Structure 1
Amino acid sequence: MPKIKNLNPSVIGRIGGSDLAVPFRMPDGRIGYLWGDTFDGTVAAVGSGTDWRSPVLTIADDTPVGTPIVFVSSPGNGKQLWSYPHDNGEFTTILPTDAVSVGNRIYLWVMVTNGLGNEIRCEMWYSDDLGQHWYIALGTHQLPDGSPRWSTGYSGGRRTMVTWERGGDGYIYIIGTGGLARDKNASMWRVAETTTAIEDPYAWDAWQFRDGSWRWGKGDADEILPAGTRLGEICLRRIQNHWVFSGFDAGAYQAFVRVGYGPIEYIDWHTAPQTNPVRGAEQGSGTYDIQERLYGCYVHPSSRFENADGSTGTFAMIVSTWALSGNPYRAMQYRIPTPAALGPVSTPGAAVRKAVNPLATAKSRASAPATTAIRGGAHGAVRRVRPDGSRPD
Structure 2
Amino acid sequence: MAQSGTYLCDNQGDSAAGFGLGSGDLGIPFQLPDGTWGYVFGDCFTGQEATDPYLGSPVMVYQNTFDASGQTPITFTGSQPSPTVAQLFTYQHRADNGFGVEVSRIPNDAIALRKDGRDRLFIQYTSVAQWVAPGSADDGSLQGGVAYSDDGGASWRDFDQHWPGSVKGSNGSPELMWSFAGVDPDGHLYIFSKPWNGSHNFAGDGGRIQLFRFKPEDFFDGNFAARENWVYQDNTWQWLPAATAAATQIFATGNNIGEFSVKRIGEVYVLSYFDTTDYSIRTRTAARPDQTWSEPKTQVVGDRGLSVSRWRSPVLKNLYGGYIHPGSTDSSNLTLIISAWDGTAGHRPYTATQWSGLSA
TM-score (norm. length: structure 1): 0.74
Q: Deviations over 1:344-373 (max 9, x none)?
A: xxxxxxxxxxxxxxxxxxxxxxxxxxxxxx
Partner of residue 227, structure 2: 204
Q: How big is the shift at 1:155?
A: 10
Q: Deviations over 1:144-193 (max 9, x none)?
A: xxxxx322367951111110122232211111111124524111111111
Q: How big is the shift at 1:17?
A: 2.2
Contact kept in structure 2, 1:247 and 1:255, CA below 8 Å = yes
**Cα distance 1:278–1:4, how it changes in 2: closer, same or farther (>3 A)?**
closer
**Cα distance 1:248–1:222, how it changes in 2: closer, same or farther (>3 A)?**
same
Alignment of 1:331 with 2:352, yes or no, is: yes
Partners of 2:90 and 2:146 lie apart in 1 by 15
Alignment of 1:150 with 2:173, yes or no, is: no
Alignment of 1:175 with 2:192, yes or no, is: yes
Partner of residue 105, structure 2: 94
Contact kept in structure 2, 1:172 and 1:190, CA below 8 Å = yes
Q: Secondary structure at the match of 2:87?
A: coil
- The structure whose residues are more often strand, as a share, is 2
Partner of residue 374, structure 1: none
Query: Alignment RMSD, CA only?
Result: 2.6
Q: How big is the shift at 1:60?
A: 0.8
Partners of 1:287 and 1:14 lie apart in 2 by 37
The one of 229, 234, 257 equivalent to 2:255 is 229
Contact kept in structure 2, 1:32 and 1:60, CA below 8 Å = yes
Alignment of 1:8 with 2:29, yes or no, is: no
Q: Deviations over 1:52-105 (max 9, x none)?
A: 311001111232141100000011121111221111151111110001111111
Q: Which amino acid aligns with 1:21?
A: G
Q: How big is the shift at 1:338?
A: 2.4
Q: Which amino acid aligns with 1:323?
A: D
Q: Which amino acid aligns with 2:39?
A: Y
Partners of 2:128 and 2:151 lie apart in 1 by 27
Q: Secondary structure at the match of 1:71?
A: coil
Partner of residue 62, structure 1: 65
Query: Which residues of 2 match residues 342-381 of structure 1 at below 5 A?
Result: none
Aligned pairs, number: 317
Partners of 2:256 and 2:313 lie apart in 1 by 24
Query: Which residues of 2 match residues 190-269 of structure 1 at below 5 A?
Result: 190-195=213-218, 199-217=222-240, 218=242, 219-261=245-287, 263-265=288-290, 267-269=291-293
Partners of 1:303 and 1:54 lie apart in 2 by 26
Q: Which amino acid aligns with 1:173?
A: Y
Partners of 2:298 and 2:271 lie apart in 1 by 12
Q: Deviations over 1:256-304 (max 9, x none)?
A: 111111x422x112xx254211012399999871111110011211111
Alignment of 1:72 with 2:64, yes or no, is: no
Q: How big is the shift at 1:201?
A: 3.2
Structure 2 residue runs without a partner (length 5+): 11-15, 132-138
Q: Which amino acid aligns with 2:37?
A: I
Q: Secondary structure at the match of 2:225?
A: helix
Partners of 2:277 and 2:289 lie apart in 1 by 25
Q: Which amino acid aligns with 1:107?
A: F
Partners of 1:335 and 1:48 lie apart in 2 by 32
Partners of 1:331 and 1:315 lie apart in 2 by 16
**Cα distance 1:156–1:38, how it changes in 2: closer, same or farther (>3 A)?**
closer
Q: Which amino acid aligns with 2:152?
A: L
Alignment of 1:136 with 2:151, yes or no, is: no
The one of 317, 324, 328 equivalent to 1:292 is 317
Partner of residue 340, structure 2: 321
Q: Which amino acid aligns with 1:294?
A: L
Contact kept in structure 2, 1:4 and 1:68, CA below 8 Å = no
Q: Which amino acid aligns with 1:209?
A: Y
- Report the identity percentage: 26
Contact kept in structure 2, 1:244 and 1:258, CA below 8 Å = yes
Contact kept in structure 2, 1:16 and 1:48, CA below 8 Å = no
Partners of 1:39 and 1:319 lie apart in 2 by 18
Q: Secondary structure at the match of 2:264?
A: strand
Q: Deviations over 1:29-59 (max 9, x none)?
A: 1121110011102x2x3x2411331100111
Partners of 2:151 and 2:339 lie apart in 1 by 28
